[in-house]
Amino acid sequence: MSMNFNQARHNMVSQQIRGWEVTNLRVLDAIEAAQREDFVPARYRKLAFADLELPLDHGQRMMRPVIEGRLLQAIDLQADETVLEIGTGSGFLTACLASLGKAVCSIDIFEALSEEASKVFTSKKINNIECHSDDALNGWMPEQAHDVVVVTGGVREIPPVFMEWVNPGGRLFAISGQSPAMEARILNRLNISDWEEQSLFETDLQLLVNAGKAPQFNF
């Protein structure tokens, strides 16, 4: 029997994600419209809507759908805001961000993941995403600061350089700490020097590549 992807996708949103206190209708609509099954590796397509981290190439993993939902609700992305996403991964979250905001700049250390996600964006005619392949923890810099910065892999501590990439009045979402008890946090940049921090929930997330190493900079 073939799988009814539309029904499975709707059930994921209405039962799993809403069940995790995600009630923002823009977020729920964006998740359902993005068609998560198209971003999942073909061999795992029927598991696209399960409450699981799904394997990607290069030892990476997709976030659980409920974490993606909580993340999107927490950043409260507006239609006129730009986003920097650190960790493109499968590209699913990137597509959700693109539907909610003005434009997304997404970086991934693995060129193959970035290229694969770009192909899906093109096939879906998503035109407001700019992809890069580089290491955000070791010397890469965005061309400009953004209204929202989203870190899709875990970090021991939030790197100060990531905070520099947030516009005043903007937000940064990150999951930090030590596995298995890590903390999702949102940092609001009130002005040039002042921040307000909010703890959201406890979870566990695979670290960004090189997140456990000291950063190296080229001068």
Considering the domain boundaries, does residue 219 fall inside one? Answer: no
* Confidence check: pLDDT of 50 > 90: yes
pTM of the model: 0.94
216: pLDDT confidence band, cut at 50, 70 and 90? Answer: very low
33: domain CATH number? 3.40.50.150
Specify whether the CB–CB gap between 16 and 32 falls below 8 A: no
217 occurs within a structural domain: no
Yes or no: say if 87 and 134 are a contact pair by the CB < 8 Å rule. Answer: no
Query: Does residue 127 form part of some domain?
Result: yes
Structural domain boundaries, residue 172: 5-203
Q: DSSP letter for 85, please.
A: E
The verdict on residue 102 lying in a domain is yes
- Give all strands (DSSP E) within 59-102, no chain letters: 82-86
Given a cut of 80, whether residue 214 has pLDDT beyond it is no
Residue 162, H or E segment: helix 160-164
How far is the C-alpha of 86 from the C-alpha of 153, rounded, in Å? 8
pLDDT at residue number 213: 61
pLDDT category at 3 given cuts 50, 70, 90 is confident
In a domain, 37, yes or no: yes
Split into its structural domains, the chain has a count of 1
